[in-house]
A and B are shown apart, each in its own frame.
Chain A
């Protein structure tokens, strides 16, 4: 069954410029979908629409069959509990003046989720591979990779059905990136993941489906292996050909 249905969505920040043009795709419950595109492709705008931060000019987005309507406050409260986000830069996405406990508990407070908040925060920290004894510490005491783990803990603490990650590993060093991709992969086995990225290698390692965007249109979508091995659209082919590859592969051009 589809968890998210995006139907004929068009969107522009002003009337003159359309950022998304007739975008349609479905996300199956439990899938990991990579939204891939270069700057200006509309991938971040699409994510904003999925988050309910803006409403499509044309078309609709449905979640679990219900229309996502940013003006419907009751719906949005339930929606926020089900849909959480992780952003690119863990230095600007964590409030430097709040302790880790307060940061991770934020969705529990603002969504008024009842229960033992400290226990929920500790469970989320354990799930992202952090020690429970960091509750009283501040973001600046942590490395970039650890901060991204904290941001992920904050996103999963209300137990969302859908996790949206916007270039969530792009600002990380290579060795850290590998570990955060492993973590996301592990978490994705228990929820639905939409991973926005320009990095095809990371998407290939993490996602089982890919949607490729160019200038606000979907040019190609489907299972990751199929798209990587048999790209149909010229833009997909050009994108794949542009990815620098490691030397020493059998079919490397050298």
Chain B
């Protein structure tokens, strides 16, 4: 079976500087994969290249196939067909991911209508409202009727991220790409959002590409990890195996560092 996302020999350069070098990995249907790396490792660039969102100044070579279709070098017409249907993205900062001048309802309605149109339906009026409320309930937003009328600045950071997740879900994508989706959130909110993502991925059977610098967070949601360092994949494998017995020196440093802070907490929970 073709994997949902197949990255093969991907190289991204800015002028002569390589930012990602000869990267290859796949995400199969329903699979959850973590992309781990520190700043400058190329983890976000990889996600942008895979969705055709790379800045024009950057050049990508190699191959990134989404649901069998080549993304690298593809025209917008092709990419438009893939976005939403093959994949949708959730970003780190929900405050900048949402339009500050539009009520939440209008922002969530957009991908819902778009998805319906793709399925050959015209979703408007009461039917649209009902779908919208159902969607907000699915991401466990309290008082959805109030939230649809609110502007982004009127709700909390955790609620904004739930809205961003709802917008991604509205597309019913086969693959959800989440780029540091909990990094800007408080730790108790982070725990809720991780639980939500875990439940949604289970319920819908979506695949998940989870990008993060935070090892214990990644361990909560994925089965397999790829560790990036300066654009090179230094190690990959099942998350438990990689964290328990890292083979690469760099991975070992990261695991030891995360382990030290974890050990300091003791058995507390």
Contacts and interface: CB of A to CB of B under 8 A. Distances in A.
A244 B259 CA distance: 12
A177 B190 contact: no
A241 B187 CA distance: 10
A188 to B, nearest CB: 15
Tell me which of A204, A229, A239, A247 has the highest count of chain B C-beta atoms within 10 A of its own C-beta: A247
Interface residues of B, number: 36
B265 A244 contact: no
Main secondary structure of the interface of A (DSSP, over half): helix
Interface string A216-254: 000000000100110100000011111111111101010
Interface string B136-149: 00000000000000
Contacts of B261: 178, 199, 201-202, 204-205
A244 B268 contact: no
Nearest to A177: B257
Given A173-B213, A239-B188, A246-B243, A204 B264 contact: yes
B254 interface: yes
A194 B41 CA distance: 32
B183 to A, nearest CB: 10
A229 B267 contact: yes
Interface stretch (B1-9, B86-94, B97-105, B215-223): B215-223
Interface residues of A, number: 33
Interface string B241-269: 00110000000011101111110111111
Interface of B: 38-39, 157, 186-191, 194, 213-217, 219-220, 239-240, 243-244, 253-255, 257-262, 264-269
Given A174-B257, A229-B268, A248-B244, 15 more contacts: A38-B188, A38-B189, A177-B257, A201-B264, A202-B261, A205-B261, A228-B266, A241-B191, A242-B190, A242-B191, A243-B269, A244-B220, A245-B216, A246-B255, A251-B269
Interface of A: 38-39, 144, 173-175, 177-178, 198-202, 204-205, 225, 228-229, 231, 238-249, 251, 253
